[in-house]
Structure 1
Amino acid sequence: MLMRKKIFLALAISAAAVSLFFTANFIRAASSPGMALTGRVSSEEEGAMEGVLVSARKAGSTVTITVVSDEKGRYNFPSKKLEPGQYAIVVRAVGYEVDGAVAATITPGKTAAVDLKLRKAQDLAAQLTNAEWLASVPGAEQQKSTLLSCVGCHTVERIVRSKYDAAGFTQAILPRMASYANQSTPLRPQLRLGARDTALVGEDQARLQRAQAEWLSTINLSASSTWNFPLKTLPRPRGKATQVIITEYDLPRPTIEPHDVVVDAEGIAWYSNFGEQTLGKLDPKTGKVTEYPVPEPKKGSPTGALSVRSDKDGNLWLGMMYQASVAKFDRKTEKFQVWTIPAELNKDNTQINMTSPMSYTVDGKLWTQNNGFAGVHRVDLKSGTWETWDPFKDSPRGHNIYDVIADSQNNAYFTDIGKEHIGRIDAKTGKLTMYETPTKGSGPRRGMMDAQDRLWFGEYRGNKIGVFDTKSERFREWAMPTPWSNPYDVAVDKNGDAWTGSMLSDRIARLDPKSGQVVEYLLPKSTNVRRVFVDNSTTPVTFWVGSNHGASIIKLEPLD
């Protein structure tokens, strides 16, 4: 009898404990109105964990929603972001991982609660970004900077996990890498038909490759099964950097490279395909993707378009790269019009990457550039005539004109990623003027002209954001707080904040130029960021970017 009472008492205590557990979860859920899913992230090492990215993906969906835990380790998914259904939950927190699969069921009118207990990661190296690898490997900054040309096609992890010695790199790997077009990826390599006129050749190239090969063989696994240097990680997001919701839309094929993303007045996202001959359209409301075949005027050359920019009428303009053309896509008729470079200029290495259509109505002429020889072209859209400027004709080595951007009067400004120059071509006289950024070797890459005719650009090799006031002819620069961020591009929003992204750190930076404060938002996955875009029609503004190696489009919504 006494034994039965003890058993009953034990069962009663257990039942009370279970009841208390579920009641606590119910109360917690009930105190989160408007939330579909909530929980707390913790670990034995840290307790409550701030800055953990928590991602939810509905079964059968192509859309993933991500939020970030706050200083108390709490994360919250608004009901408007998660419709009812079964969701898989994953996290991003360098150095940590969840123990096994995690799922959540979203029910209408209720808040699901899932606490996440993280453990130390079993394979830290697999979690590192390109920036973290560059911070980790030994070597001089000049040696590490050579990898800035590698991350356009693949990760640094592929290099450090390789087992090639110096001879292997010199004789096989580096010559093979140099033969690929710059839109190549491991999934879809494409061969160049000809090297750039500005590229190093002969003994100069061989000397550079030997030096790089010797260094690379000291940071990979050619001599041992483990690395002989500690792995360094970047801090997780804090404060304002946790106040964000990120939506990722998967594209239909893993070979799609959404290099540039722009959003039209109807909220539709358009993207250029860096490696394939298509223009893409994404409806963010439904996730539906439509692809339009782009003409291929130079068959046999590498395919893909780099830039897509819109004119004042909302038409889209493509830089068609090795197809040696520019194209206009009329969104109403869904038809392309193509202007191909004249035959005498159409060489194996001709590479027309950029267009600048915002002010072409001033004189009916469109600015573009040519990576084949570091040149600038202007196309008379009515007659089809092409004009050419060769700013570095007398000293071409090392120069590389990357972007061309017109001001309100259709004067052209171009960036020289190989050095530190911003160039100006007067639309009326054709006069060329060169300016140098305050930072030597800054590598200005891509940018935009704001409403005040100020040119904003990313300093890819200087790890800074720059702006050039075209009226006062003065520069300003802001250094990025995270080493090896290496901004590719800059977009300025309606509030005056400057946004940029990184091909290396998986972070989106938001700069307040007045205070110099920078907020860095971490993305949920490895993301090769190129062109950045800000939609000013929303409040707060919405940031968009393509995952160039991840076949997805990302929307970032800051909550402030």
Structure 2
Amino acid sequence: LWGTITSTSGETLEGVTVSARSLGRNVTTSVFTDSDGEYYFPPLEAGRPYKVWAQAQAFEAGRADVALSQTGARRDFTLAPEADFHNQLTGSQWYAALPDGTREDRRMKEVFRAACMGCHPQNFTLISRFDEAGWRNIISVMSRMHPYRYGTPEAAANRAPNPIMVQFGDELAAWLAKVRGPGPSPMAFTPRRPTGDSTLMIAREYDTPEPGFGLPFFNDGSTDWALGPVDFMDESKHHAMNATVDHDGNVWMADMFNITRTVVKYDWRTGQATNFVVPEIPGGPPANSHDIIVDDDGVVWFDMSSMGALGRIDPRTGTSNTIRPPEGSRVGPWIGDDGRGGIWAAGAANDVKAMRYDTTTREWTLFENPIPNASNYGMTGDGDGNGWWSTANPRDGLMKADLESGQATFVSVPEAVNDRTELFTAEELAIFGTRLSFYGNGRPGAVAIRKPGADPQGAALWGCSWYGGGMVKLDTRSHVTTMYPFPPEHEDGNCYETSVDKDGIVWLPFTHGDAIARFDPDTEQWTSYFLPTIGTKTHGLQAVTVNGRTEIGMGYLGAGKVAKLEFRTREELQRLKAETRRP
């Protein structure tokens, strides 16, 4: 399946997202037009009808029904400009469009970033307009919101309000009414399309809600960008916090809000789901899972934090095992592997330990947190077999578990790239500093690494910042740090995780930007790839070697999907073009 995409003025369009989905299948495949305005799909299942659609920001979508024969099919599209395209934009683009010409604009933009960008993408927050009273009501409700739900009115009333929203609520409501109220808005929206190497990605997206929706006729974030982002408050979509791919290229997902399964495997060709159920007790409900990885041997590992245990599945046989830590310890919702055959887990919320499971000896090693009452977050292991996990409260940094000494230490991180503390008084900064978290309790100048990733073959650990506007490189032996600013399109992006591939390339997702990025440490060059779905609220990803090449497995928590991302080379695309056009 291939074709050319032009505008109504005759211009060939680079970076258009072209998607195809067969009736009765659970997978949507997307590619992007090159500098000639041409798109080329990888081989698709022939003899089936396909829905095909082409989308680009600031253009109306093109749609077609295509019957794909054994010899393939060509389908060209002509896209008409769309003047009102703000619904098509990502959360990061909405945030970038907020005015910052005055000190007050910059202050309130930073307050909005700290208090209103933890759970919801900004396009979801700002897509509707309200007057000052309306925004004040929203801020009042959100000040008592749990990260995933409001709960009963009684529970909300008893929940302590967010101190940032209490301090700045009236000022923020007035500013939001100015920028996103009933009257004219000063927001200036800028569309984007990928160019160059950013167009070489192939994205396969799989529906995750059970029993599967088939061809979606609802707003799933990809079939019609004009509908705006998906509704994050629809908890039926909250499945795919983390995902990975196995050595056969199939996609595995940890089901965070499950009712029938612990983890699930998707056949990468058809999207067929195979559920794996690990009961918390014999005959009981399935254990909950949050994080999932594939190790160098191709074994799938996942947490079962609801029962405090580690899970293991051999993808070739389907055999599963439950591995419990020593009595008194509980596996929390973040895991990682190291370069010496160890699987690391951060302790559960009420546990002060990090722990390592040796896959050879089957023994556990426990480490105490170096900071009493520190919050545990994302976990990884390095090439020397040490463990690293992040914390934001009470200190902003990383904790290291040294395998050789058996001791754990705290390692600080460099200053944020986008430090805007000068916009606030000391008294106001104290309000921000009451509790740094990733859920509406940000702080100017904070870095806040959520889930770090390390090179299993070397001595580099990478941590992308949730608030700090850059990525930290830390030498795992000397603890020397370097901060790399995010590229302009992600300069204030909320980044969740880093994963390092076999070549030492760093991959990271931008939760509100509906994008991932590739960073080459040798050249210090960034390449951004834009996902076909808006409102993904993507969190975890893992870079895995499949048949000698890097593939990315990732989850879309907000859109109820998992994705498998592959990357062609320019030479491969040119060969495909020549073969397709051959008489």
Superposition TM-score, scaled by structure 1 size: 0.76
1: CA distance, partners of 2:64 / 2:551: 29
Q: Does 1:413 align with 2:396?
A: no
Kept in 2, the 8 Å contact 1:87–1:103? The answer is yes
Q: Is the 8 A contact 1:306 1:353 kept in 2?
A: yes
TM-aligned CA distance change 1:255 to 1:37, over 3 Å:
same
Q: CA RMSD in A?
A: 3.7
- Identify the residue that residue 12 of structure 1 maps to in structure 2: none
- For CA contacts below 8 A with separation 6 or more, give which structure has more relative contact order: 2
Aligned pair 1:131/2:114, yes or no? no
In structure 2, what residue type is equivalent to 1:475?
T
CA distance in 2 between partners of 1:517 and 1:98 (Å): 32
Number of aligned positions between the proteins = 492
Residue matched to 1:328: 311
CA distance in 2, matches of 1:352, 1:115: 49
Match of 1:120 among 46, 61, 82: 82
Question: How far apart, in 2, do the equivalents of 1:81 and 1:59 lie?
Answer: 13
Paired AA for residue 445 in structure 1:
R
* The one of 291, 307, 311 aligned to 1:307: 291
- Name the SS for the 1:97 alignment partner: coil
Q: Does 1:92 align with 2:55?
A: yes
Cα distance in 1, alignment partners of residues 183 and 238 from structure 2: 34
Give how far 1:172 is off. 2.7
Aligned sequence identity (%)? 20
- Alpha-carbon displacement from aligned partner over 1:507-547 (angstroms, at most 9, x marks no partner): 11111111121111111111222112223234542222122
Q: Is the 8 A contact 1:458 1:464 kept in 2?
A: yes
In structure 1, what is the equivalent of residue 223 of structure 2? none
The 3-state SS of whatever aligns with 2:237 is: coil
Distance 2:52 2:469 in 1: 34
Is residue 403–residue 445 contact of structure 1 (8 Å, CA) maintained in 2? yes
Pair 1:165-2:134 in alignment: yes
* 1:445 paired to 2:447: no
Q: Secondary structure at the match of 1:241?
A: helix
The amino acid across from 2:266 in the alignment is: L
1:325 CA drift (Å)? 1.0
Question: Per-residue deviation at 1:305?
Answer: 2.4
Kindly indicate whether the alpha-carbon contact (under 8 Å) linking 2:369 and 2:399 is maintained by their aligned counterparts in 1.
Answer: no
Q: CA deviation at 1:281?
A: 0.8
Please tell me the residue identity of whatever aligns with 2:308. Answer: S
Deviations 1:353-408 (A, max 9, x none): 2123547867xx854234458x4333779999895624333xx6xx6432222334
The Cα shift of 1:160 comes to 4.7
Counterpart for residue 28 of structure 1: none
8 A contact 1:278–1:291 mirrored in 2: yes
> Following the alignment from structure 1 to structure 2, what is the Cα–Cα distance between the partners of residues 214 and 137?
16
Determine if contact 1:326/1:338 at 8 Å carries over to the other structure. Answer: yes
What does residue 454 of structure 1 align with? Answer: 460
1:319, distance to aligned residue in structure 2 (A): 2.9
The change in CA–CA distance for 1:85 and 1:318 in structure 2 (over 3 A counts) is: closer
* Cα distance in 2, alignment partners of residues 148 and 320 from structure 1: 30
Distance 1:489 1:173, change over 3 A: closer
Equivalents in 2 of 1:68, 1:335: separation in Å?
Answer: 38
The residue identity in structure 2 corresponding to 1:484 is: D
Name which of structure 1's ranges 142-151 and 549-558 shifts more when overlaid on structure 2.
142-151
Q: Deviations over 1:460-510 (max 9, x none)?
A: 222322221112322233222122333211122233321111111111111
Deviation string 1:171-213 (CA, Å, 9 cap, x unpaired) is 43321x1xx3x4x37xxx779x999xxxxx968x445434146
| Deviation of 1:303 (Å) | 7.8
**Matched-pair contact (CA < 8 Å) for 1:159–1:220:** no
Contact in 1 for aligned 2:367/2:408 (Cα 8 Å)? no
* Change in CA separation of 1:290 and 1:298 when aligned onto 2, cut-off 3 Å: closer
Taking the aligned partners of 1:190 and 1:84, their CA distance within structure 2 comes to 49
Contact residue 491 and residue 534 of structure 1 kept, 8 A: yes
The corresponding residue for 2:347 is: 369
Closer, same or farther: CA 370–463 of 1 in aligned 2, 3 Å: farther
SS at match of 1:112: coil
Q: 1:297 to 1:131 in 2, by over 3 A?
A: farther
Residues 1:61 and 2:36 are matched in the alignment: no
Letter in 2 for 1:339: R
**Alpha-carbon distance in 2 for matches of 1:439, 1:497:** 24
Structure-2 residue corresponding to 1:551: 560
Displacement after TM superposition at 1:98 (Å):
2.6
C-alpha distance after superposition, 1:198-252 (max 9, x if no partner): xxx968x445434146415532599843562224234211111112222222234
- Secondary structure at 1:530's aligned position in 2? strand
2:324 to 310, 319, 339: 339
**1:304 Cα deviation after fit:** 3.9
Q: Equivalences for 1:14-29 in 2 at 5 Å?
A: none
Structure 1 unmatched runs, 5+ = 1-35, 196-200
Separation of aligned partners in 1, 2:141 and 2:494: 28
Q: Is the 8 A contact 1:469 1:475 kept in 2?
A: yes
Q: Name the SS of the counterpart of 2:41 in structure 1.
A: strand
Q: Is residue 491 of structure 1 aligned with residue 499 of structure 2?
A: yes
The residue correspondences of 1:148-547 to structure 2 (distance < 5 A) are: 149-151=117-119, 156-161=123-128, 163=130, 165=134, 167-175=136-144, 177=145, 180=146, 182=147, 184=148, 205-206=162-163, 208-212=165-169, 214-216=171-173, 218-219=175-176, 224-225=181-182, 228-253=185-210, 254-255=236-237, 257-276=239-258, 278-296=262-280, 304-311=288-295, 314-321=298-305, 323=306, 325-331=308-314, 332=317, 334-337=319-322, 339=324, 352-358=332-338, 366-371=344-349, 375-378=352-355, 387=366, 389-393=368-372, 400-417=375-392, 420-440=396-416, 441-450=446-455, 451-481=457-487, 482=489, 483-526=491-534, 527-538=536-547, 540-547=549-556
What's the offset of the Cα at 1:309?
Answer: 2.6
Compare 323-332 and 445-454 and name the one that shifted more. 323-332
The amino acid that maps onto 1:157 is: F
State the alpha-carbon separation in 1 of the partners of residues 122 and 285 from structure 2.
Answer: 25
Secondary structure, aligned partner of 1:75: strand
Closer, same or farther: CA 304–337 of 1 in aligned 2, 3 Å? closer
Q: Secondary structure at the match of 2:523?
A: coil
Q: Which one-letter code corresponds to 1:425 in the other structure? A: A
CA distance in 1: counterparts of 2:72 and 2:252, whole angstroms: 36
1:6 is matched with which residue?
none
Q: Tell me the distance in 2 between the aligned counterparts of 1:538 and 1:465.
A: 29
d(CA) in 1 for partners of 2:484, 2:250: 32
Distance 1:268 1:49, change over 3 A: closer
Secondary structure of 2:332's partner? coil
Q: Is the 8 A contact 1:51 1:238 kept in 2?
A: yes
Structure number with bigger Rg: 1
1:142 aligns with: 110
SS in 1 for 2:252: strand
Name the CA shift for 1:515/1:314 in 2 (closer, same or farther; >3 Å).
closer
Aligned-partner residue type, residue 218 of structure 1: W
